[in-house]
Structure 1
């Protein structure tokens, strides 16, 4: 799953050519954080363009590629100010050569969160018209459903602060724009089922089949980041076999992602409260992804919650 074949040193046929422009499209639901994301990309050294018509993306990428190094990283913010953009954008991206296709970052949030955000700034939703705020949110969600399905990376900002969103973007998009641009990156996210499923997960792992350290008095106040808890979880029957089998599955999935030009994987690992088992197992799965050459970032969503 590495961009470069470690056996022969050869670069795969679909690898980006030297000096190719790294392009990211920032899109998603209104109020989900596109402006914050755009500022983050500027800080990462991207040239940011706002509200570009889809039919001009190819032209902009071509101009950037011929800028003789003046522009090496490009981020384009696109939203429902042009209502036809969702269909047009999907077609434009699919029609581009694989080595030039932009990565698509899709930002979303729960409807209740978006309502509160719009009300806090006293703004109407761009698709609200004469209806309710929630009507505009639902219309936009439906309009963008296909684009969300095609996105390389979906980030749910419902429970993320501005700083959390910046860290997620920095983790996913830092690195050189050439050999690293097409490499698979993964986020391994531990969570507690009692706090709800992560809506931006590509794959969900349930590790509640393992005994819960919560019921061991000396382990209750510790977390899966502590050696004592990790040793307990990994020492349970089936834990190592599960990790071995799931690692084989991740190899297959990762190879498929690469073939389909999907460059981000969010793997959610859940237990009851997101404190012990999911934390320990997510760290193990992240280490195995790292060993495969996948750049991996670990997030413990519910660690520290009561």
Structure 2
């Protein structure tokens, strides 16, 4: 049972008035049976929900009943957006507000829902950063949060991978995205929309210039589109490889998911062996060499010849280093 969904049912009835079970189910994306079960749980928790039979009937709260979230400050209200992301809230300087908002939210719930919410909180924990790396330091994140909220331009000095590595930019920040523990800034520039890794911002200052973020801009949709475009641009070539059974098992832990999917969709048996041959996407020879070498003797590059030669050169260098020739 989702405590958050029960709260959604309660707030839905409070804001909409009378609703049939079908209407509640459609609003929350659940089955009608689940809606009936949620309504029964609310009644069992002491919430005065009653049914009005007949045409135009439905479920509603007793007149005058309202759940109240009193005393929420502006910062605490913003912090509710990050109530399930403790690390993100801390990064954004909202850790104290999240704690206060949770306490006030729990205090506003009926006893039954409060106990349900406490049980849910006790068995779920979100740890956003990825494995095998230290969290990135992003000292300018709080400044960017203020700029996003107030609609001010930001002047940044940014470090990127291509030459020139340091560039100056004036940005109109539209939003911030947390991806695998790494913060990214989505901003408009004179050259169009761009994405910046916050940890790579060397200096930043908020400008006096104001701007209006387009009302129809959808940060989530833009990010999905950006990721799809990034993946399309990321892989510029293909390679044919052979994998042992052990190499195929180790594949998901050593290469990107796109490579694993390519192997699964193109793998064919190598006659007379237990190995398979597959065609995979690659970013380039150097990047592919680094990734495939992780598999050691469980992979063989068949083509292109440049990648096969690069793998062989590395193997010869390793052999000389360890004096086994």
> What is the TM-score with the length of structure 2 in the denominator?
0.22
Q: Could you say which structure has the higher helix fraction?
A: 2
> What is the TM-score with the length of structure 1 in the denominator?
0.23
Q: Which of the pair has the greater relative contact order for Cα pairs under 8 Å at 6+ separation?
A: 1
Q: Could you say which structure has the higher strand fraction?
A: 2
Larger Rg, first or second structure (1 or 2): 2
